[in-house]
Chain A
Amino acid sequence: MLRNNRRVLTIFWSIIAVTFLCIIVNLPAKFNLFGRTFYRPDFSLNLGSSKIKPNLDLRYGLDLAGGASLLFEVDTSQRKKEDLPQALESLKLNIERRVNLFGVSESNVQMANQGDKYRLNVDLPGVTDINEAVKLIGQTAQLKFMGVINDQLFIEATTSAELLKSVKDTGLDGSHLVKSEPSPNPNTGVMEVSLKFNPEGSKLFEKATTDFQNKKLAILLDGVVKTAPMVNEIIIGGEAVINGDFDIKSAKALSAQLNAGALPLPIKLIQQSQVGASLGQDSIERGVKAGLVGLGLVFLFMIGNYGFLGLIADFSLIIFGLVTLTLYRLIPVTLTFPGIVGFILSVGMAVDSNILIFERMKEELRAGKSWNNAMELGFGRAWNSIKDANTCTIITGLILFNPFNWSFLNSSGMVRGFAVTLLLGIILGMFTGVFVTRNLLRVLARKKQ
């Protein structure tokens, strides 16, 4: 064994170093100790001109952080198959733009297909008024024509409230627009964007151009000003052109946006769920408390059963916990309550490797082997069982996680949140239970001979 001494020591100190690094990563961003305030280092990295600054905060899912989640079904019956991918993509972009109006950070819009049906899932962390969310996101038309009544304020407006004060609704909206096209002016050849309204829209447009002649008429898409052309004359008949500094590209883009004012595909709300933040906070606290109590029991059980060996196993379990939490921060893993349960369960499974090994060691000791021999044999022989048994759990974990998004398997956030922490836990648990415990024992138990 002596020939390996230096290698073992190197591994031992590396384990200690990694553990300390993990402790630092898991410190609160700011904390008080002995009357002094400490800050967690932010691990920012300078690579040439770009700066990498990892976000080390734990991320919580909707069920813990509170928030709203909406699931829409997309009606694709009106579309030809070949147009569908493009229509779905622009639907998603459209919804994302509406979600951004909410100003929620880390909102998430996802398209999922279920056979030939398409679903759109919208997660809004921190949003407590689900009714408002449904109204804003599920609306079908968001294109508005507004007359500018206060030009100064209109130009300087930075918030939507200020903006809305500077304009007056003309009653004209996306539902009145029949078509918008980019077209070159027949006389000058300069690009323009044409507008064509339906009969009702034509009347409203005539009134708007009368009211705001020689003023600006702002076109707002989801509350954002797309263009504000000057009204040069009263327009009767519902056909108009917007001229400005357009080239072919910008004219096309504007008319596309105007046409898309209405959602490209109709959507129907099929599921809404909402969790208040207080309930989530309560779940976290209870989960942590339960985890600590359970962990305490496991620690005592291991020491009671295996004495010194159990103590070492407890140490590698602590290392397991620290490394797992660090990975949650780095990957990052979004923690949900089932995720926490997955973590707690994987703690139980991580101990299993050690129990297998220690029982094996006991057997070898009973057979009259020396302590060091029994230890190395215990680890060697138990490894087969550990590997096979954990592979089985990994297989089911992968089926739960559904990495390829197979539509016949579950892909809900709850089940995935559980699968991801369970999988990480099992893989790491095998590593700490075998590699870490073994090397800790090699160094710390050597003198027991």
Chain B
Amino acid sequence: MNIMKFRPLFLVISSLLILTSIFSIIFWGFQWSVDFSGGTSWQISLPSKPEINVIKQLLTDNGLELTNYSINQDQYFLKFSNITSDKKELITNSLKKIDPKFVDLEFETLGPILGRELMIKTVWAIILSSISLLLFIGSRFKDLSFGASAVLAMLHDALILIGSFSILGHFFGAEVDALFVTALLTTLSASVHDTVVTFDRIRELKSFTFRLDWVELANKAVSEVIVRSINNSMTIIFMLLALVVLGGDSTRWFAAALLIGVVCGTYSSTAVAIPLMLLTKRKKSDNVKK
């Protein structure tokens, strides 16, 4: 199987994915959850299903602006600015008058400082993961170019995941929240997981045979581990798909993010990490020929 001859195709696919991601991030941005933007998100149940305008008016009367909402049967998801507990009590009492069966399901309110902190912490986590993985893989394979290409493929996946959430946010209202950060960091590890397995096979093949050049080595290694890569991704995809379809609303997007990350990770280990690694190797084998 000569997978490496598709390298130009992989380059086109990856470039398209990355460009789309960057485009979407710049032009559409994100649907930030209150974890990042600050403010209040409130999920309540009103079995009498009043018009949203009634609730909007109630909030306006209390000096609050409803910035976003969605309704699922008797459940209302409301987003508005940061409120004090006195005010919440006032609004709760008014809602109880509108609907005596009012249930307070989930409530969160926070100031904007915390969101900025979360962002900075996420960036730190990505930097720290990248450096540790670069050093670990580099030292395990005694070759820094292995570490560098694995980490670059990993950042490629991270960018695509971030981009797809910008697109999902624009069209389906998917929010970027603290859980998304978790999914992003997990994607980093899942991506490297597959890459390392393939690299491992290249290292092993190399110790058996001296004649094969790097491209042939890569082809042989990929064709030997690709069934495993796909099979393994399938099992993780089964678990995550079940969560996306059957899991609760609050974590559906979290599972979706993980799903995108896993699929990307499987693709990039073959289509990004190895071609990148080969880029650093070709020159070396030329030198040998001379």
Contacts and interface: CB of A to CB of B under 8 A. Distances in A.
Interface of A: 63, 71, 114, 128, 130-131, 134-135, 269-276, 278-279, 282-283, 286-287, 289-291, 293-295, 297-298, 301-302, 305, 337-338, 341, 344-345, 347-349, 351-352, 355-356, 359, 363, 381, 384-385, 388-393, 395-397, 399-400, 408-410, 412, 414-415, 418-419, 422
Contacts of B129: 395-396, 399
Given A347-B239, A393-B190, A399-B132, A385 B196 contact: yes
Interface of B: 43, 85-86, 88-89, 92, 103-111, 113-114, 117-118, 120-122, 124-125, 128-129, 132-133, 136-137, 140, 178-179, 181-182, 185-186, 188-190, 192-194, 196-197, 200-201, 204, 224-225, 227-228, 231-232, 234-243, 245-248, 250-251, 254-255, 258
A396 B251 contact: no
A359 B225 contact: yes
Nearest to A135: B85
A131 B109 contact: no
Given A272-B109, A275-B106, A278-B103, A409 B128 contact: yes
Contact of A272 (B108, B188, B255): B108
A131 B242 CA distance: 37
A131 B88 contact: yes
B110 A270 contact: yes
Nearest to B226: A359
Contacts of B236: 345, 348-349, 352
B246 A289 contact: yes
Given A345-B258, A385-B196, 6 more contacts: A131-B88, A279-B43, A355-B231, A381-B204, A389-B200, A422-B186
A134 B201 CA distance: 58
Contacts of B85: 130-131, 134-135, 269, 272
A408 B124 contact: yes
A270 B40 CA distance: 11
Contacts of A355: 228, 231-232, 235
A148 to B, nearest CB: 33
A298 B235 contact: yes
Contact of B227 (A114, A135, A359, A392): A359
Contacts of A399: 125, 128-129, 132, 185
25 contacts: A131-B86, A269-B85, A270-B110, A270-B111, A270-B113, A271-B109, A272-B107, A276-B103, A279-B106, A287-B243, A290-B243, A297-B238, A301-B235, A338-B251, A341-B251, A351-B232, A388-B196, A389-B200, A393-B193, A396-B185, A396-B186, A396-B189, A397-B189, A399-B132, A412-B178
B277 to A, nearest CB: 15
Contacts of A291: 239, 242-243
Nearest to B187: A396
A312 B231 CA distance: 17
Nearest to B92: A131
Contacts of B140: 388
A287 B120 contact: no
Q: Which DSSP category, helix, strand, loop or mixed, fits chain B's interface?
A: helix
Contacts of B258: 341, 345
A272 B111 CA distance: 10
Contacts of B178: 410, 412, 414-415
A363 B201 CA distance: 13
A392 B179 contact: no
A395 B132 contact: yes
Contacts of B133: 392, 395-396
B246 A286 contact: yes
A134 B87 CA distance: 12
- Most interface-central of A114, A396, A409 (chain B CB within 10 A): A396
A426 to B, nearest CB: 9
Contacts of B111: 270-271
Contacts of B237: 348
B239 A271 contact: no
Contact of B181 (A294, A298, A393, A410): A410
B222 to A, nearest CB: 13
Nearest to A414: B178
A318 to B, nearest CB: 15
A113 to B, nearest CB: 12
B72 to A, nearest CB: 13
Contacts of B104: 128, 274, 276
Contacts of A400: 125, 182, 185-186
8 residue pairs, one from A and one from B, having the closest CB atoms = A348-B236, A294-B242, A396-B189, A271-B110, A294-B239, A273-B108, A290-B246, A297-B238
Contact of A341 (B121, B181, B254): B254
Contacts of A302: 235
A287 B106 CA distance: 18
Contact of B239 (A275, A298, A381, A409): A298
Contacts of A388: 137, 140, 196-197, 200
Contact of A410 (B122, B200, B238): B122
Nearest to A293: B242
Nearest to A390: B193
A279 B225 CA distance: 43
Contacts of B255: 341
A125 to B, nearest CB: 15
B182 A418 contact: yes
B231 A305 contact: yes
